[in-house]
Amino acid sequence: MVLAAGQGTRMKSATAKVLHGLCGRPMLGHVLAALAEVGPEHTLVVVGHERDQVTAALAEHAPYAVPVVQEPQNGTGHAVRLALEAAGPTDGAVVVVPGDAPLLTAGTLQRLLARHLETLAAATLLTATMPDPAGYGRVVRDPDGHVTGIVEEKDADERIRQLDEVATSVYVFDAAKLRANLGRLTTENAQGEEYLTDVIGLLVADGDVVASVTADDYRETLGVNDRIQLATARRLMRDRIVEHWMREGVTVTDPQTTWMGVGVRLEPDVTLHQNTQLHGTTTVRRGAVVGPDCTLRDTTVGEGATVVKAHCEGAEIGPNATVGPYTYLRPGTRLGARSKAGAYVEMKAADVGDDSKVPHLSYVGDAVIGERTNIGAATVFVNYDGVEKHQTTVGDDVRVGSDTMLVAPVTVHDGAYTAAGSVITDDVPSGAIGVARERQRNIEGWVERRRAGTKSAEAARRARERDTMAPDTDDDQGADG
């Protein structure tokens, strides 16, 4: 059972608290992923505030989870009672976790379940020793160290508040014991709600076994109630992911400026330099180098490729290809082996063949480029007529001159050239050179006549006078001869 009905007022957001994201998943998604590794027979998620948002997210990302509406929201005990009723007749272990604890791991949940089964307990709770326990319910023990109850901070006296062992809101209950004691809960407390924590005290009073497991690292149990805590959780999750990949053989030169999500996949001997962000389903193959200053989303980087100062989304970068600096690869772009998308190049829905290069200052959109072709600087694939997009095809071993406009739909066939400065509107046959530009005309004296009084006109006047006064050296040499 995942408790995800809270309003989360401190987030100050129209988005349900449990749907705020970190490292590729919403908080609730991280909790469900950890639970899925434990292998529950049924998963129920108690929803309340912004329940339509949460239910829609479950349908998309965790269709196996059953939403249970809590209305009104009358405390954690009330929430669990509704979920237990929705589950129908059940026995065995019931795991209860909060939906706002994204750092919780499957390993800790498995350890909690193992302890529960070993002790045949009525309930087993996960505790943590906090350096600052403010806001958490405190775990109370007897002189022999046995759990005797949990006291919410609002109901605690000063002695109880001095305790640093807290309840993390993560439990395993025996289903029958849980069902019997939920009906005994009252709302006689500071918040006027049914506390799930009170079940622990009831079980102890009845002489039932209540066991506990203390988390190895308290940070794993941290809840998220505002955006400051969300940022803390995000950094901790980032550290966990980055450390995992470093142990798998990835070099991360600056872990503090490297961010990646849970869906990223990296192979050994990848190098990630500073200020690199990897999102979505990005995959980086063996020996590739990414960074510094890169953002990649849903992008595949081939073996041995290099990506520097680039933004890539939905792109495929082939083996030993080079990208950057200051390059933007948009969705549908595919770079072949040993190809190049260089400085200040933007590509969209472009298929670039092996060994072809777009070195600098160009836009390539809706295009297919063959192998061993070179696209000169400042080339623009003019793909949009204001209504529809059109495709340009450039063949193998083509040389496109600098400052060429390729106006789609158009084809430059194998082995063809285009002259620099051309506007190509018709197909260029194989082996031909496409020239589409007027011959240059120089209009003498135009600047002095049309831009009189400018610095350009003054410079032109000085040059004209200098040329007029220069001696005719060729005639002098001729006379001497």
Residues carrying an active site annotation: 360
- Own/partner pairs for 384-389, CB < 8 Å, 24+ apart? 389/349, 389/365
Whether 162 contacts 156, CB under 8 Å: no
How deeply is 224 buried, as exposed, middle or buried, from its count of CB atoms within 10 A (0-12, 13-18, 19+)? buried
How far is it, in rounded angstroms, from Cα 455 to Cα 89?
Answer: 92
User: HSE on the CB side for 141, CA within 13 Å?
Assistant: 13
Q: Which two tokens stand for residue 36?
A: 């899925």
How far is it, in rounded angstroms, from Cα 73 to Cα 83?
Answer: 13
How far is it, in rounded angstroms, from Cα 191 to Cα 180?
Answer: 23
Neighbouring-strand partners of residue 173: 94, 123
How far is it, in rounded angstroms, from Cα 363 to Cα 382?
Answer: 8
Neighbouring-strand partners of residue 211: 124
In Å, how far are 330, 351, 370 from 76, measured between CA atoms? 46, 55, 63
